[in-house]
Structure 1
């Protein structure tokens, strides 16, 4: 820690936890102290994560918050385990979105990018980036992200840009990048191509138009069914299935294209679905992805009938200049007038929309740059099939393989100005094409210096695909690259597997001959309470910063992580925020109680441990073991649940209450010291376990504890203290069950909280009786007892007494004059019903050979023992009901 940084100022612990007084202070302390920074250290094992770079235009949303919380939990966990830990942050230049933002500004100023020119426009974009681009990284700090901000990267910084050029040139030189005419997705509003996976398919109500195409030199006609009659001017064939007997005799003939009388052939292709529409399909290769592939197979011409604004071009005859949807209405009207339109059927289909602006996408043949994906996809498939790369949960492996095994060439050019410009130049004198890592001065073919660079930029995902190694210095073999690549795990949402994950795997294998990460942890989406995706149009979005302002970052993080399993979507429910805030206050108040009772604490040897001490230490030991295992297995929700149960139900509700008599006994110094020592050990260790989940709260409390160190985040992860004590756990469980049973009777019989009651306990088993005898003081205090009497046998059971039956133990509360016998019988019958259900479940389990033959023998024996206990308990309850009925 730098010499000028001191531990944070301690606040007097208020009655309730106020995150606003803690979070900013603690984060500044962590960052200024350099706790997040990682230097190369080959003496330590490495753990590294690269942050999925959020768009530089973005603001934190709940998906970012969940993603960031998961990465931070893993990072803090591994840092505490002693790894040389790097969480590398950064942002993406977001070509389409960023250019749109700046163009919006220019419109307000009464100008445009065209008027400014490319160079001046790019200057404006960089100005915008420097002014607004850091918003989301500041918001990630609010979340508690322990990134190495000293290593923050940007997809268009100097190092990443060098890597992009190097990758492009290497792929180009290997013949894996080419330029050609191909069908692409064109956004008429953003004025650029977008990839297949950036097209969102939205269910839409449309029509199926049945059109009559006359067969030349015949009285016959083919009737085709289409959803887009305005594209018919680009038809270059009609296709039928080769086995369709209705049309087999027409294959090889031609039809006259309506409204043009242009002849087009009738072809046979297996792609045609005989059952769809009329079984005859008009083929428009320049404006339909599937038609394009059919056109290639049959060597059909490609006639483009729409321009970049999605308006009809000169090939559409008199409809030139019309918007595509306006033209559809006009064409349908003329077809109807000419008797060509036979009928219109309602037809629902999925319409492709731009993921950025929701404009309907136009498939269009265009000259673009592509990456050949087949040779690159094979090794990326193999690493998953042979388990060199694993998805968590593994069900996402099938989705990944499904995409990769059906992959098409990747269109990487975008008609934008903001982005990595394609490093290809054309000689204006001889037409030679030059691809180079640095700008060429002259044409290597003819020596001329009249060179013009390709105007397009690369798809944003091209640079993002290099992210795991470009951020570490590639193409140079830097020390950081050697230590931190491959990274340890990738954390990302299920909606981005092909957008980003697949491309990183492809690029990592191609340029580093290694997977970029051995594990991919997939989390679900955060939905609203009704299970809908959050969106501006629905108005159901939730701003994480507003949640943090109201509840604190720890509450948001813990709520997003717990109550869910890996890969599943999470419904955002405000009531869960309230419950998690209550949990924070529970921890805070428990810690205040411990601290108030540590004022005279001096470290030293403990006295004899009580049953409660041995029990809590054993439960703490188990929580360390299972909590660590959950994090190692990326089951963060289960790890959080274990901590919640241990802290709330065991440490706070039971152990703290059980320590009070010793802590308040100033005479028995050793007993008081022992209780203090166990409280401090368990609290401090539990705070370390909880720290990755709730970093701010745990740091603030830990700073107030009498323990050495600069920060909880720099402490070691708790190791198993080897306090496992199954006898103590069983005995304490018996004592707690007895106390809970008495409390339940009091509550159901509406005994006033301050009213003490006699407690009679029948415990034939000597060991059980001894445990309850030793715990009499705890029963009196925690169950509101006036007296506790234990019996090995009872000659006559109390008649007017409420009762509870545990395994091997019966408890009676004489409530003469306070008890409604009929009500007590109903209560006991309810207990029998619940016990019967549990008995039936166990009997079914034990009668299943799949369980009894495969489960460990000790597990089966334990279940049989449980069944015997339930049967005995049910019998005792039934006997008690008979006794009560006899007194009525």
Structure 2
């Protein structure tokens, strides 16, 4: 394959500029075909289907974390040598997209009805083409290394064919039916929505107790009443019964009697039904089958009529009598006033109501009876339950197993029809002649029952999720038996937010098992939500939405990606804090600057980049850094395989910044002053460990690592082989060299590090000038030979004179600061660190001032009048001040004694 060109300059520029690097390397990867699967018959393909973002606008941080996590996994498996396929795509987003375009039309002074269905759909397609490309470009900005030749859209011809096949097949199997049932209706979207598209919000409301007169019966004198409690008084107008629990002794004798519906005057029966909660309200409940799911079921059991008093526009219907045409909440207010006037209100209490809101537009939904299309879910749910229960599918984190299981065990039939124009049109045709339905994979020209050509298609479209639940296999060519489908299904990982485990993930498991005969993926990875720095959910109303494009423009894509990856753990929400992004931008700069130093300091020394298992260490520091790298590779590989991506990233950061840059790179400045062999070995280790570090970091920070890696190989291996080894994106993932593991080197060097750190801390404490070298005396016990070899490092790293080393000391040096690093005793002669006379003078002044304050506080507390009259907490504070000053005097005197004063 011909390789796209993106040759780096001869040397790394002084500063890292993300904008100069990111677009260049993405074009290089994409044009060079690096995102396409590379066949590897010896390994199982690794496949991810990208959760398709809605085409309703720009990507947000939820998309950014999805793209980051999936790209880390894809790049990692690509480097492992797996045949990787990441399928990108977009969702047509029925309600959301239609709403956006209708708003645009309103601004133009028109609407979809004036345009007509065909013209409106064409207008939506124009809008979609514009925003689909915008979303794709934003994914490119994020570095998403998906195979764009496999890009799919849920209204593509192939996916539309899959949707039709599924609808018809489920209909033929008796799993899709049309019927009148209670559904969730959004009066603003003017469409049915599924249970999952309803957000229940606890809202302050009222519980109204209403008396219903009973129809007089022989033997009962005076007016009798039965009282009910309701949060929706306006639905009283549609009551067709009152229900009590047959086990409730309070109402046992009332079952079978008739009550008179207030205002309307309709006679309604009192029925016994065990669904009634005896503890709620009065224990008697009004039954409105047309406006409540539980009431609908009661109505079915008792053959009650269903009277709809709230219309699909949320206004009262003619069945509401004098309130017809009023808004539902206006009617509530007016009806309660009338009931009070008639003396039928017993009491009204404050009550928290879990109001259902449309997820799309936040309008309060209405439960209404409507003729819709439904999918029977119970038969599909059973195999999906077993897939997780018996370990065919793993959910990360595991605690979401219960969430998944609970929903499937209590699943309801799925309302799949939507009263929209944008989407997959329901493939059902009604005959105007015989009244029968024709359900067909292809558009029919005549009725399948009587042959009449007088047929018309169902006006509704299918729920958006009805196409996306097929995503893992419809994107690969199903229902055709394509090569892609045979090779790449089932996919490997479904990675998405935990908030759509019901909407999408569980449904994909159901459809995959039902239509493909096997699970659609073996792992479900659920990430948390991205919140603002205060932990609040981002929303436009709070003005706390962060645009990922703005962050990338300001700090670079790698900084955003690394922050998202390392600030999160599976299934937990994360806070996006700007200081962390700044810290990770600084990390990208650290990678750049360290790499620049390595390239400059090793130029002309030795040849190439030695394979990590071919490096022959000469010094303790060499053995230590190779051991640390081997341990890191083991740990990071294990963590990524276990989906602990955040911890993997944090460990790489710690190794590169601390072990490599702060220690080995600094040590190399000493070792590069040695003989030719030591210089070549040190240069080889610097390059090799840098190479391995860049490979480990690449899935997390692809742009800066590719740029640096290319410079490294151009400088050290200019005649390297052509594609695919010409880019870091396809370089081999590091392997842990077991021979490099050296616990003894780890322990010995850790002791050297502690010695250096303790001396550095002491220098800072004493405010010793950075350039000044100080004497050091050390009792190192049995480690004498080792420390003698390490004296040049200690001199350089701790800025000491050549340390005086002893196995043990007969006498401790006088006027010296004593430190302990493990079993090593360190003495720093103070005369070598500061002017003793001036330091003693300063200490004496501080002691005098502190003693004066002690005397003042002692006098204050000895005053019985103060102690008696002051508040106890004030007296206690003064005692604490005294104790602190006395402690300070003691420490200052100890310090003076150490100096011989």
Write the distance in 1 (CA, Å) between the matches of 2:534 and 2:356. Answer: 25
Aligned partner (choices 682, 688, 693) of residue 689 of structure 2: 682
Q: Are residue 67 (structure 1) and residue 66 (structure 2) matched?
A: yes
Structure 2 residue 758 is matched with structure 1 residue 741: yes
The residue that corresponds to 1:158 in the other structure is 157
Alignment of 1:350-749 (within 5 A): 350-601=354-605, 602-603=607-608, 609-664=618-673, 668-705=675-712, 706-707=716-717, 708=720, 709-722=725-738, 723-749=740-766
Report the counterpart of residue 268 of structure 1 in structure 2: 272
Aligned counterpart in structure 2 of residue 785 of structure 1, from 767, 780, 800: 800
Q: Is 1:298 paired with 2:302?
A: yes
* SS of aligned partner of 2:109: coil
Does the residue aligned with 1:462 lie in a helix, a strand or coil? helix
Aligned counterpart for 1:752 among listed residues 758, 769, 781: 769
SS of the residue 1:491 aligns to: strand
Matches of 2:646 and 2:28 in 1, distance apart?
A: 28
Report which of the two structures shows the higher radius of gyration computed on alpha carbons. Answer: 2
Structure 2's unaligned 5+ residue stretches are 844-890
Alpha-carbon deviation of 1:793? 1.9
Secondary structure class of the residue paired with 2:776: strand
**Is the deviation greater in 212-221 or in 39-48?**
39-48
Q: Does structure 2 conserve the Cα–Cα contact (< 8 Å) formed by 1:561 and 1:636? A: yes
Question: Is 1:205 the counterpart of 2:178 in the alignment?
Answer: no
**Is 1:96 aligned with 2:95?**
yes
- Residue correspondence of structure 1 range 8-47 to structure 2 within 5 A: 8-10=7-9, 12-38=11-37, 42=41, 44-47=43-46
Please give the alpha-carbon distance, in whole angstroms, between the structure 1 residues aligned to 2:360 and 2:639.
Answer: 38
Structure 1 pair 345/678, CA: closer, same or farther in 2 (3 Å)? Answer: same
1:142 deviation in Å? 0.3
Residue 754 of structure 1: how far off its partner (Å): 2.2
Residues of 1 paired with 2:88 and 2:428: CA distance? 30
1:249 matched residue in structure 2: 253
Cα separation, 1, equivalents of 2:689 and 2:426 = 59
Partner of 1:859: none
Secondary structure of the residue aligned to 2:775 is strand
What is the DSSP-based 3-state SS (H/G/I as helix, E as strand, rest coil) of the residue aligned with 1:272? coil
Q: Which residue of 1 aligns with 2:821?
A: 806
Q: How far apart, CA to CA, are the structure 2 residues paired with 1:537 and 1:797?
A: 69
Contact 1:239–1:282 (CA<8 Å) still a contact in 2? yes
- In structure 2, the residue matched to 1:839 is none
**Following the alignment from structure 2 to structure 1, what is the Cα–Cα distance between the partners of residues 745 and 491?**
44
TM-score, normalisation: structure 1: 0.91
Structure-2 change in CA distance of 1:37 and 1:553 (3 Å) = same
User: Is the 2:309–2:318 contact (alpha carbons within 8 Å) kept by the matching residues of 1?
Assistant: yes
1:15-35 Cα distance to aligned partner (Å, 9 max, x none): 332111100111111111111
- Which of 256, 259, 263 is residue 259 of structure 1 equivalent to? 263
Cα 1:281–1:787, aligned 2, differ >3 Å: closer, same or farther?
same
Partner of 2:870: none
Deviation string 1:352-390 (CA, Å, 9 cap, x unpaired) is: 111111111111110000000111111111111101111
1:120 equivalenced with 2:116 (yes/no): no
Per-residue CA deviation, residues 155-191 of structure 1 (Å, 9 max, x unaligned), is 0000000000000010000000000001111111111
Query: Is the 1:799–1:884 Cα contact (8 Å) retained in structure 2?
Result: no
Distance 2:26 2:616 in 1: 40
Contact 1:427 1:451 (8 Å CA) reproduced: yes
How far apart, CA to CA, are the structure 2 residues paired with 1:57 and 1:11?
44
Matches of 1:715 and 1:215, distance apart in 2:
84
Taking the aligned partners of 2:253 and 2:542, their CA distance within structure 1 comes to 53
Report the secondary structure of 2:202's partner residue.
strand
SS at match of 1:448: coil
Partner Cα separation in structure 2 for residue 782 and residue 629 of structure 1 = 34
Question: Residue in 2 aligned with 1:80?
Answer: 79
1:314 paired residue among 312, 318, 321: 318
Question: Secondary structure of 1:775's match?
Answer: helix
CA-to-partner distance for each residue in 1:830-881, whole Å, 9 max, x for gaps? xxxxxxxxxxxxxxxxxxxxxxxxxxxxxxxxxxxxxxxxxxxxxxxx9xx9
CA apart distance, 1:658: 0.2
8 Å CA contact retained: 2:670, 2:796: no
Quote the offset at 1:811 in angstroms.
1.1
What TM-score comes out, normalization by structure 2 length? 0.89
Contact 1:7–1:710 (CA under 8 A) maintained in structure 2? no
Counterpart Cα distance in 2 of 1:128 and 1:694: 33
Helix, strand or coil: the match of 1:772?
helix
Structure 1 residue 670, shift from structure 2 partner: 1.7
**Alpha-carbon contact 2:559-2:585 (below 8 Å) kept:** yes
How far apart, CA to CA, are the structure 2 residues paired with 1:886 and 1:247? 94
Structure 1 contact 42–483 (Cα < 8 Å) conserved: no
Residues 607 and 574 of structure 1, relative CA distance in 2, 3 Å threshold: closer
1:224 aligns with 2:241: no
Report SS of the residue matched to 2:499: helix
Deviation at 1:332, TM superposition (A): 1.4
- Maintained 8 Å contact 1:390/1:518: yes
Structure 1 residue 809: Cα displacement:
1.4
Q: Distance in 2 between matches of 1:252 and 1:103?
A: 52
2:846 is aligned to none
- Superposition pairs of residues 843-862 of structure 1, within 5 angstroms: none
Structure 1 residue 663, shift from structure 2 partner: 2.4
Q: Secondary structure at the match of 2:281?
A: coil
Instruction: Evaluate the alpha carbon distance shift between residue 883 and residue 772 of structure 1 in structure 2; reply closer, same or farther with a 3 A threshold.
Output: farther
Pairing of 1:826-865 with structure 2 (within 5 A): none
> What secondary structure is seen at the aligned counterpart in 1 of 2:792?
helix
Q: 1:531 Cα shift? A: 1.4
1:886 Cα offset (Å): 12
Contact residue 204 and residue 351 of structure 1 kept, 8 A = yes
Pairwise CA distance, 1:299: 2.6
How far apart are the structure 1 equivalents of 2:78 and 2:897? 62
1:2 to 2:11 alignment? no
CA distance in 1, matches of 2:271, 2:290: 17
Check 1:565–1:606 CA distance in 2 against 1; reply closer, same or farther (3 A cut): closer
Secondary structure of the residue aligned to 2:496 is strand
Q: 1:885 to 1:779 in 2, by over 3 A?
A: closer
Distance 2:534 2:274 in 1: 43
Counterpart secondary structure, 1:728: helix
Aligned length: 830
Work out whether residues 799 and 883 of structure 1, in 8 Å CA contact, stay in contact via their aligned partners in 2: no
Moved over 3 A (4+): 39-44, 603-608, 816-823, 881-888
> Displacement, 1:724?
0.6
Do the aligned partners of 1:193 and 1:415 also contact (CA within 8 Å) in 2?
yes
- d(CA) in 2 for partners of 1:248, 1:750: 90
Deviation at 1:44, TM superposition (A): 4.3
